[in-house]
Amino acid sequence: MPKLIYFLVGLLGINLIIGVHELGHFLMCRAFKVAVPEVSIGIGPTLASHQFATTKLMLALVPLGGYVEILGMRAPAPFFENVSFASKPLNQKLLILLGGIIGNIVTAFFLLFFVPFRRRRRNPEPEVSPENPGDTGPDESGIIGPIGIFALIARSAHHGISTYLRFLGVLSLSLAVFNLLPIPLLDGGQILITIIEYLRGSPFDNTWYNLIMLLGTIPLIFLLLKAMRSDIRKLIA
């Protein structure tokens, strides 16, 4: 398979899983009448955009994440209090924050249990070469970053469509579990903050909230840099 096809297959796979996650948040917002000004698949400069009702849908340059902009996350938006996240009851807030995780779990369940597994006949240990970049194993290191995930998606495609889809199922489930971690930038962290604010009867002021977000960002950046360093070392090894 040409390198370009590997690249496109990896790009498609990552964006499908991210898209499912963001779609989960979006659908929960729609269900509870919370406004969503923007939805982005990817981060960085916008490549394409489309206005869907009151929501701007965007495809960004770097396929390493995405976001759903939820109106009034910290406080009700003036003149739009009835469609603001902060105005909703706790159960609706939690379901909105869990929407992406639920979307990934449902997708994983479907891909892992309803996609038939067909192992393609091939040599047990295919040759690894620059012309065959997908054949790099996941067991060379204990930590895998975005580059490594990209390579694993490509490798799964090399084994056939069913293996590719089932690997996306595993990846979708992994993203759901990862987002449950109580790190402020992740859904799990936002869920924890929302529950604490509910129990204390008032939201954190902006100073404390920004400090919590800053401190929570540090371990996430450290983990990402460590994973990318591991990926790059495997590529040049």
Q: Which residues participate in catalysis according to the annotation?
A: 22
The DSSP result for the chain, as a single string, is --HHHHHHHHHHHHHHHHHHHHHHHHHHHHHTT----EEEEEEEEEEEEEEETTEEEEEEEEEEEEEEE-TTSSSPPTT-GGG-GGGS-HHHHHHHHHHHHHHHHHHHHHHHHHSPP-PPP--SSPPPBTTBTT---GGG-S---HHHHHHHHHHHHHT-HHHHHHHHHHHHHHHHHHHTS--TTSHHHHHHHHHHHHHHTSPPPHHHHHHHHHHHHHHHHHHHHHHHHHHHHHHH-
